[in-house]
Amino acid sequence: MSSVVMITDGAALNFTGEKIQADGYYGYADGLHTVAFYMTNFDGRIYVEGTLASTPVQADWFGIYLQATYPYIEYTNKTGVEGYTFQGNFIYLRIRVDRTDLGSPELNSVGTLDKVLLKI
């Protein structure tokens, strides 16, 4: 089991984190991953994206459903830590933050995603 911090600039309006080696990269058979979002007054949508490609291009990435309805988690003025567990033999994972579709300009610059911790 290992832990990795998945982002570097959680205060940016919209950003995509670097690819991080996931369970499938190491050949683990269970496909079990846990992410923890550490936030301070965060407004926006957080996407966890995965790929099965060993050398991924943009078209290879897809959203992972951490809840049943949407491939993202949306927060409004959230401070604290939220954790999610999911399964899949992904080769790489990455985090994407999008604050453009929230409908209110003042929401688009509020808060930070301080870090995202991945455990496999």
pLDDT in tens, 15-26: 899 999 999 999
Domains of the chain: 3-119 (2.60.120)
The pLDDT of residue 15:
87
What pTM was computed for the model? 0.88
Band (pLDDT 50/70/90 cuts) for residue 14 is confident
DSSP the chain: --EEE--S-TTSSSEEPPPEE-GGGGT-SS-EEEEEEEEEEEEEEEEEEEE--SS--GGG-EE--SSSS-SSEEEEEEEEEEEEEEE---SEEEEEEE-TTSS-GGGGG--EEEEEEEE-
Band (pLDDT 50/70/90 cuts) for residue 3 is low
